[in-house]
């Protein structure tokens, strides 16, 4: 998508998303048929990922998860674009938080925190985090290849004060805030696929050899940061809750890979419970584990 195409898209989206969500979900129902039936979107990738992740499930069970995933994916597209016109009041109603006292306690102790989550349910809607957590919120992200769409997404994410930073600059951001006595809560999407040359650790995730970023573990243990998990649950269509789980209160001196394995197992547990809400269209297993690492 070039500049002209982007501005056409932005204008159309700006007008359409003036409609309330219940009406926009009619578009989502139509989008589901496009994603799943014709022309379809990464059907082979999704089917392969599901089959390899759940070898114990029947074809019928896998097909059921696949259809539910595409329905959710269509909703996710609509909900992400709707952020352009979603007020604070509507966001507070549709995206709630639980176990905030965990963060409050760590804040009283002036602790820096790393929050881990996956591409599960709607990870684009917690834009009001600074209002609920009273921390400087830093989100680590992978820039999208399309610079125009990347700008669109980042504008939605940062509209209420969230700081966006690439992985390569996160330590610099944390150090700068610490120098100014500002406590940070840094959010890591833990299920992104590392660049092949940057793979340092392999584990078994959803029945498959999987490379995992070690950034969460290295940064947390270096600065003895607490680690929490953000479990985003879908209450019903258009309504979510972010449930905060404490994984580690202190991380300095922990055994190597314990933090990484703990948050990876947590995500795996969540996915197995309701698999239709994870991003199965992602090419998570495009790299194969080298024989010498097995």
pLDDT of residue 89: 96
Structure tokens at 124: 């684009």
Query: How big, in percent rounded to 5, are the helix, strand and coil portions of the chain?
Result: 50, 20, 30
Mean predicted lDDT score pLDDT of the chain? 94
Beta pairing class for 136-141 and 184-189: parallel
Contact 84, 230 (CB under 8 A): no
* Domain ranges for the chain: 3-281
pLDDT of residue 2: 67
Distance CA 10, CA 93 (A): 26
Distance CA 61, CA 66 (A): 9
Q: Is the pLDDT of residue 146 over 90?
A: no
| Positive or negative torsion for Cα 21, 23, 27, 28 | positive
Q: What percent of the chain has pLDDT over 70?
A: 98
Q: What percent of the chain has pLDDT over 90?
A: 86
pLDDT of residue 49: 98
72-83 pLDDT per residue, tens: 999 999 999 999
- Overall size of the chain counted in residues: 294
Beta pairing class for 208-211 and 202-205: antiparallel
Burial class of 198 by CB neighbour count within 10 A (0 to 12, 13 to 18, 19+): exposed
Q: Is the pLDDT of residue 148 over 80?
A: no
Task: List the beta strands (DSSP E) in 126-213.
Answer: 136-141, 163-166, 184-189, 202-205, 208-211
Q: Helices (H) and strands (E) in the chain — how many of each?
A: 11, 9
| Positive or negative torsion for Cα 261, 263, 266, 267 | negative
Prediction pTM value: 0.94
Q: Is the pLDDT of residue 294 over 50?
A: no
Distance CA 178, CA 186 (A): 13
Contact 242, 96 (CB under 8 A): yes
For range 232-261, the mean pLDDT: 98
Confidence tier at 143 by pLDDT (50, 70, 90): confident
For range 123-150, the mean pLDDT: 89
User: Nearest 5°: phi and psi at 144?
Assistant: -75, 155
Confidence tier at 19 by pLDDT (50, 70, 90): very high
Q: Is the pLDDT of residue 61 over 50?
A: yes
For range 187-209, the mean pLDDT: 95
Q: Is the pLDDT of residue 186 over 50?
A: yes
CA 265 remoteness from chain centre: 16
For range 273-287, the mean pLDDT: 97
Confidence tier at 226 by pLDDT (50, 70, 90): very high
163-180 pLDDT per residue, tens: 999 888 999 999 999 999
């Amino acid at each position: 998508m070039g500049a002209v195409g982007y501005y056409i898209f932005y204008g159309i989206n700006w007008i359409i998303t003036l409609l309330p969500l219940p009406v926009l979900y009619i578009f989502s129902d139509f989008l589901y048929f496009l994603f799943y039936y014709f022309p379809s979107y990464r059907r082979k990738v999704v089917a392969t990922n599901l089959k390899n992740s759940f070898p114990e499930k029947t074809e019928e069970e896998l097909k059921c998860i696949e259809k539910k995933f595409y329905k959710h994916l269509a909703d996710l597209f609509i909900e992400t674009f709707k952020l352009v016109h979603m007020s604070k009041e509507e966001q507070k109603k549709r995206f709630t938080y639980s176990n905030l006292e965990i963060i409050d306690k760590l804040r009283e102790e002036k602790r820096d925190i790393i929050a881990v989550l996956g591409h599960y349910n709607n990870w684009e809607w917690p834009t009001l985090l600074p209002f609920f957590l009273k921390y400087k919120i830093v989100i680590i992200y992978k820039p999208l290849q399309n610079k125009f769409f990347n700008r669109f997404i980042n504008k939605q994410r940062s509209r209420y004060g969230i700081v966006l930073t690439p992985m390569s600059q996160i330590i610099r951001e944390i150090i700068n805030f610490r120098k100014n006595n500002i406590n940070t809560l840094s959010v890591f999407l833990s299920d992104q696929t590392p660049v092949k040359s940057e793979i340092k650790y392999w584990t078994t995730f959803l029945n498959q050899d999987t490379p995992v970023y070690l950034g969460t573990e290295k940064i947390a243990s270096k600065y003895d940061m607490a680690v929490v998990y953000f479990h985003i649950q879908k209450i019903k269509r258009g309504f979510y809750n972010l449930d905060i789980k404490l994984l580690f209160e202190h991380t300095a001196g922990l055994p190597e890979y314990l933090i990484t394995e703990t948050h990876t197992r947590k995500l795996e547990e969540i996915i197995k419970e309701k698999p239709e809400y994870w991003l199965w269209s992602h090419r998570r297993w495009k790299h194969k584990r080298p024989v010498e690492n097995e």
